[in-house]
Each structure stands twice: as C-alpha cells, then as structure tokens.
C-alpha cells in the first residue's frame, strides 16, 4: 500500500528542485477518545489480599460462561457448583483453572533453608509433563482429566499469602488459596476417585461486537514497540531515526511524503528503554563508589525525549510504558511522568498512556498491551506462537489471565478491569519476536485485527495499520553495512 | 520586646509528630499502648470514640453472618460497605438491611469492620 502509492512519483527525486516545494498537510485525526480510565489507578492501597481479584473475576465472567455453555451443550444441561457434584452425573461446572507446575519458581521454596535449593535460573518455559490441572470455584477445587490439554492451557497456581496472617474465620473452605487463571466451563462427570472426567470444555469466546464506524478513506496508524534506547547500539539508533524521518515526511520523494501524511497517529507500545538500563549492580556497592555514577536510564530517557520531540511536532503520539520503562512494575502500568520528558511534553500531541491501553480513533477501537501478558503466558504454556496466544486471550475473554499469579498485578477488589467486555477492532501486543497479523471473524459479526508488534531494537520493523479496511503491513528500516555490495 | 513576626506565622499550626512515626490517625496514639495483643480478631483492636454507645449484639451478629457468607466474596481488607456495594454491582443481591445498618453506624469502627489498622495487618 505504502509503496504502491509512492511508486508513480519516484522520479521526483531525480528532478531539479522545484520553485514551490509541495506541502502535504497531515490528515487530521477526528474522534479520538481515550478509554483507558479503568486502567488508571488513583489512590493505591496494597494492603489487600489477591483473593478479591479472583472472586470478582469468577463472579464477573460466570454469567457469560453459563450462557456460552447452554448454547453449546444444550439448554437443559445441569450447571452445578463443585459442592453440589454427584458421582456419575453429567453436568457442567464453571470455575477458574489452575495448573500445579513443579518448575514454577516459588519464592517460598527458594528461601526455605531445609531444602537447600539453589535458586533456579530463569527458563524459557516452565511446563513439564507432570503438570496437573485443577478447577476451582468459590469454595472447592477438583482435579481434571480427560479431553483437556494440560500443557496448552495456561492458568495460574493457587494464590499465596504474601505475609503472615492470623487464622481467620472468614472466607474459607478448601480453596483458602483461590485460583488464578482463565475462567472455563467444563462438561463431564465426577469419577469415584474424586477427579472430574472432562468430555468438553469451553471458554468465554469473543466478547460482543462493537458497531463499526471506521473512516472511508485510507488512514494509517503506526505501531512500534521495543525502541530499546540506552542499549548503546548505533544501528538501532539509525533505524529509529529513519522511522522518525519517514513519519515526519522528511524521507523519500513526494509519493512517500504524501503517504506519510496519511499516518494519523503513532503508538509506541512499550520498552522504550532497553533492558541494559535496568542494571542494578550499583545497589550493592558502597555509597562512596557510586556517588558520581548516574543511572543508565537517565541518558536513555534524554534520548527518548529528543526522539519524541521530533515526532510530536508532526504527529500525535501515544506512549505506553513497558517492562523496562521507569514506571511501576505491576499491571496496569501507569503512564510515564511528564517531568521525564520536558521537551516533548510541551506539545499537546504527546499523550502518555497506561499499559494496557484502550482508545477509540476515528470510530475504530484499539486495545493493546506492551506484551508482558503474552510473554508470561508463553512461559507457562506450550503455545509457542505469539499470535496464537493473543487470539487465545481474546477467546478467553481476559487480557492477562496469569495476573496476579505469575505476573504482577494491582490488588483490585471491586472489579477486574482486564475482563474484555467489548470486542475491540484492533488488538495488539508489543515486543513480540516477529511481526504477525490476522483478521479474526467472529460468529456475532466481530471483526478483529490481531497484530503482534515486533521488537524494534531486534527486528527494526514497525507496523502500519490501515483503519479503513483493517489491514496491516510491516515496514522495516535497515542500513547497509560498509562491506555489503550495492 | 515582642517576638519578631515571621512569614510562617500565617501558616496553620500543626501538631508535631516524632521523627520515625508514620503519618496516621493521631487518635491511635492513645490506644496503641492499650492493645498489645494483635493476634486476636482485629475488630476489638480498632479505636472507638468513647461517646458512642456499644452497638447492638444482634446487629453485630447479623453483620458477622454477612461477612462469613461465601456468596459475596472475600471479606478481608475491605470495609463491609465496600463489600456490600461490590456484591450489589455483581448482581448477587445482598440483603438491604445490612446496608442501612452500615450507613447508620458508619462512624463506629467495629461496624465498618476495616481490618487495616495503621497500615499493618490485613
């Protein structure tokens, strides 16, 4: 798309400069509204247990799952709670899944002296054939077996108490450790040995669709993630500068410039700083040795400020924080503070937003994260493809089911903001190993474009999404080395 | 000679706290010495204004039954009113008289059942 429109006027670069250079006004972005209010935390209190998150998640998703179960297995199936199960009776149970994984890093095991264990190094995947799957509802849990793929399904383990608490008479039952993970409905019957034999299971499926009122002409949004500043690699910086030049229209002939004028927004999906800025070896050193040293992130943020300044003078930019950015660790990550970006925050086109981020642009609903939820599911499940995991979270109806178990999360108590209540039009995740995209069609008329935005510092690839027809194409920037022939 | 006037005279006077004391409700300082025993139910440890009459035991029994009913979710770490409102929003239809009782005795810590005390506890 981009290059097809640019091709006819490619000869413009070989012509002498014209007296009146043409200007291409950028297409104005109409109808932008930021819908990530549920992800903004005001007054934060961490003195709550995580049991509330699981309780509201189950209570919030139970009606949808019961409807889905009735639609799939018939209106007359028996919906039972685990405490009402009878042996041999075929019924359907709705609950949260959890997987007992042996290799899962456990802080209690690490600090336990009787085991004398060396803390295990971080593995790419923590799954094992001996993992067991269990289903939990408000009061009880039961082991699952049968037509259910233990390795593939991702869950979370039981919640652990984070600090000592006195024995309490409230909210007990066998599941004093409430389960995390996805909410599923399983259909089967209970065996004599107390396990539940599963014949079929279903997830919440796609949420109800949103009406489509997208633009009628070509409008592009650029998605990039993982700029990785501060990693001291010159090549990545050149690619970043090329990206900025393309977007601001300083690269290419008139064809490319007129195409770039159709880019209405740039969304930077996390990891603006590189992992190298996170080195904390200065913490263990004595104060007199570290007095003059500066955190590596200071230089990186200055570079980020300059890059954002160039972008903001020309196009609205949404900046989402990522795993290595200077903001809080737990999801939902709060926006970067504007005091870190003094030059760029003078412009109103810069918007510092949360992770996950939800917005409506020109009638098209965007929803995306910086990739921590997907990479966490990748570690605890046998699914390898980021696009498959992204699709799976959409079908499960929850942005990050592994939070708060293996992924840090704020202890919500009123409602779980990660539950998907409406189907977005564009669902993306940042910092994926490579670019992938897929247009998903739902049964109720949902049309979702799934995009895995690649890590820019590794792949030098960004994505251009066309809002008119929900198509996506990658755009790669690289320079030729001194020894390559061209 | 009278004391020379300072710019800070126009600022409101505040009671000084000790250097290591966390900012908290000042009325707790009196009661801190009284309860050493934190392992008991926290309800008894919360400071109570002396002017209030002790709450009705039947009311306390009703509230405790509301706490222990599993349908409305976990009860720890949030006030009873917050738990009631959360149950209402999730469509679990909690009993109305509980809310009236909570609003009526809203200033009595035994009734509101906030388990967090000075940032410690759960």
Q: Tell whether A484 is covered by a domain.
A: no
Same domain flag for A180 and A225: no
**Residue A266: CATH number of its domain:** 3.60.21.50
Q: Are residues A135 and A233 in the same domain?
A: no
| Cα B64 from Cα B55, distance rounded (Å) | 13
Pair (A129, A246) in one structural domain: no
Cα Rg for chain A, rounded, in angstroms? 25
* Total count of domains within chain A: 2
For an interface test with B, which of A43, A48, A67, A178 has the most B Cβ atoms less than 10 Å from its Cβ? Answer: A48
* Domain CATH number, residue A87: 2.40.50.430
Q: Are residues A154 and A239 in the same domain?
A: no
**Dist CA B62 CA B77 (whole Å):** 19
The answer on A276 and A357 residing in a single domain is: yes
Q: Which residues of A428-461 are buried (b: 16+ CB within 10 A; e: fewer)?
A: bbbbbeebbbeebebeeebbbbbbbbbbbbebbb
Cβ contact A380:A130 at 8 Å: no
Q: Are A291 and A249 in contact (CB under 8 A)?
A: no
B92:A139 CB<8 A: no
Whether chain A has a CB inside 8 Å of the CB on B70: the answer is yes
With an 8 Å Cβ cutoff, is B77 touching chain A?
A: yes
Tens digits of residue pLDDT in A352-403: 999 899 999 988 999 999 999 999 888 888 788 899 999 999 998 999 998 8
Residues on A contacting B at a C-beta cutoff of 8 Å: 45, 47-49, 51-52, 55-56, 59-60, 63, 138-139, 163, 165-166, 168-171, 173, 178, 411, 413-415
Mutate to test the interface with B, among A173, A411, A413 (most CBs of B within 10 A): A413
CB contact under 8 A, B74 and A139: no
Contact B122 A165 (CB under 8 A): yes
Residue A213 domain boundaries: 2-10+23-43+209-280+294-476
Question: Is A18 part of any domain?
Answer: no
Report pLDDT for A455. Answer: 93
Chain A, chain B: beta-carbon pairs less than 8 Å apart: 66
Q: pLDDT digits over B57-116, tens only?
A: 888 888 888 888 888 888 888 888 888 899 998 888 888 888 888 888 877 777 776 544
Residue A173 confidence (pLDDT) above 70: no
User: Does A167 reside within a domain?
Assistant: no
Q: Which of A45, A165, A170 minimises the CB distance to B67?
A: A170
CB B103 within 8 A of CB B8: no
* Cβ–Cβ under 8 Å, residues A119 and A86: no
**Residue B99 contacts residue B59 (beta carbons within 8 Å):** no
Q: Is A267 exposed, middle or buried (0-12, 13-18, 19+ CB in 10 A)?
A: buried
Domain identity same for A72 and A38: no
A456 vs A27, residue with greater confidence: A456
Answer yes or no: do B122 and A47 touch at CB < 8 A.
yes
**Whether residues A325 and A347 fall in one domain:** yes
- Name, in order, each residue with C-beta under 8 angstroms of B68's C-beta and a sequence gap of 6 or more: A169, A170, A171, B75
Q: What is the pTM (predicted TM-score) of this model?
A: 0.80
Q: Please report whether residue A17 resides in a domain.
A: no
CA distances from A307 to A304, A326, A399 (A): 5, 17, 30
Q: Both A338 and A237 in a single domain? A: yes
Does residue A112 belong to any structural domain of this protein? no
Tokens of A283: 């913490």
Tell me: do A31 and A85 sit in the same domain: no
Q: Examine the domain organization and report whether A260 and A372 are in the same domain.
A: yes
In which residue are the tokens 């939902």 written? Answer: A332
What is the arithmetic mean of pLDDT over A186-199?
88
Task: Count CB-CB contacts under 10 A for residue A72.
Answer: 15
Q: How many helices (H) and strands (E) does chain B have?
A: 5, 0
Residues of B in contact with A45 (CB under 8 A): 116
Instruction: Flag whether residue B89 sits within 8 Å of chain A, measured between CB atoms.
Output: yes
Residues from chain A that touch B77, judged by Cβ atoms under 8 A, are 47-49, 52, 411, 413
Closest CA relative to residue A272, chosen from A456, A452, A434: A456
Per-residue pLDDT reduced to its tens digit, A99-118: 887 777 777 776 766 666 66
The SS3 assignment for A166 reads: coil
In whole angstroms, what is the distance from residue A290 CA to residue A142 CA? Answer: 54
Pair (A143, A31) in one structural domain: no
Whether residues B39 and A166 touch (CB distance < 8 A) is answered with: yes
Give how far B2 is from chain A: nearest CA, Å: 45
Indicate the pairing of strand A350-352 with strand A317-320.
Answer: parallel
Quote the pLDDT of residue A2. 62
Other CB atoms within 10 Å distance of the CB of residue A81: 14
DSSP category for residue A434: S
Q: Please give, rounded to a whole number of angstroms, the shortest distance from the CA of A57 to a CA of chain B.
A: 10
Q: Which residues of A touch B91 (CB under 8 A)?
A: 63
Instruction: Residue A48: list chain B partners with CB under 8 A.
Output: 76-78, 122
Same domain, A153 and A232: no
Cβ neighbours around A50 below 10 Å, total: 24
| pLDDT band at B25; cut points 50, 70, 90 | low
């Amino acid at each position: 798309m981009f290059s097809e429109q640019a091709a006819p006027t490619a000869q413009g670069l070989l012509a002498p400069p014209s007296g009146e250079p043409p200007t291409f006004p950028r297409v104005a972005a109409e109808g932008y509204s930021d819908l990530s209010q549920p992800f903004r935390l005001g007054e934060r209190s961490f003195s709550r247990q995580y049991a509330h998150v699981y309780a509201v998640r189950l209570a919030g998703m139970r009606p949808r799952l019961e409807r889905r179960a009735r639609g799939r297995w018939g209106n007359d199936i028996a919906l039972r709670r685990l405490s009402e199960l009878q042996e041999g009776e075929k019924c359907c149970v709705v609950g949260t899944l959890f997987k007992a994984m042996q290799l899962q890093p456990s802080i209690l095991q690490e600090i336990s002296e009787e085991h004398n264990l060396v803390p295990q190094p971080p593995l790419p995947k923590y799954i094992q054939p001996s993992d067991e799957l269990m289903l939990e509802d408000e009061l009880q849990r039961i082991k699952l077996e049968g037509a259910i793929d233990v390795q593939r399904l991702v869950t979370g383990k039981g919640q652990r108490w984070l600090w000592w608490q006195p024995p309490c008479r409230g909210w007990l039952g066998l599941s004093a450790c409430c389960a995390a993970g996805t909410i599923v409905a399983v259909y089967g019957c209970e065996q004599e040995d107390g396990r539940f034999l599963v014949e079929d299971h279903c997830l919440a499926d796609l949420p109800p669709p949103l009406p489509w009122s997208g633009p009628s002409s070509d409008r592009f949004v650029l998605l990039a993630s993982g700029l990785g500043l501060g990693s001291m690699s010159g090549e990545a910086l050149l690619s970043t500068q090329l990206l900025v030049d393309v977007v601001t229209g300083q690269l290419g002939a008139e064809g490319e410039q007129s195409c770039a004028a159709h880019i209405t927004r740039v969304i930077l999906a996390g990891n603006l700083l590189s992992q190298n800025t996170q080195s904390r070896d200065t913490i263990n050193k004595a104060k007199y040795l570290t007095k003059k040293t500066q955190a590596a992130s200071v230089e990186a943020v200055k570079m980020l400020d300059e890059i954002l300044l160039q972008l903001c003078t020309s196009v609205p930019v949404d900046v989402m924080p990522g795993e290595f950015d200077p903001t809080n660790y737990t999801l939902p990550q709060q926006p970067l503070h504007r005091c870190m970006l003094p030059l760029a925050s003078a412009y109103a086109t810069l918007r510092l937003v949360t992770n996950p981020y939800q917005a409506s642009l020109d009638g098209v609903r965007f929803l995306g994260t910086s990739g921590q939820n997907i990479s966490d599911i990748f570690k605890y499940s046998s699914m390898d493809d980021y696009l498959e995991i992204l699709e799976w979270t959409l079908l499960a109806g929850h942005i990050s089911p592994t939070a708060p178990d293996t992924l840090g999360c704020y202890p919500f108590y009123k409602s779980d903001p990660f539950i998907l209540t409406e189907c977005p039009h564009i669902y993306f995740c940042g910092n994926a190993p490579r670019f992938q995209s897929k247009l998903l069609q739902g049964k109720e008329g949902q049309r979702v474009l799934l995009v895995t935005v690649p890590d820019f510092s590794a792949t030098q690839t960004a994505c251009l999404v066309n809002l008119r027809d929900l198509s996506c194409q990658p755009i790669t920037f690289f320079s030729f080395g001194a020894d390559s022939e061209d | 000679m009278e004391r020379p006037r300072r710019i800070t005279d126009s600022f409101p006077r505040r009671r000084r706290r000790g250097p290591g004391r966390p900012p908290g409700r000042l009325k707790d300082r009196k009661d801190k010495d009284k309860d050493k025993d934190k392992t008991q139910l926290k309800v008894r440890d919360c400071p109570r204004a002396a002017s209030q009459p002790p709450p009705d035991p039947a009311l306390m029994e009703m509230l405790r039954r509301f706490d222990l009913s599993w349908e409305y979710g976990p009860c720890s770490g949030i006030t009873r009113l917050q738990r009631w409102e959360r149950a209402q929003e999730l469509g679990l239809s909690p009993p109305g008289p509980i809310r009236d009782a909570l609003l009526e005795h809203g200033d009595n810590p035994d009734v509101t059942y906030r388990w967090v005390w000075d940032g410690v506890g759960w």
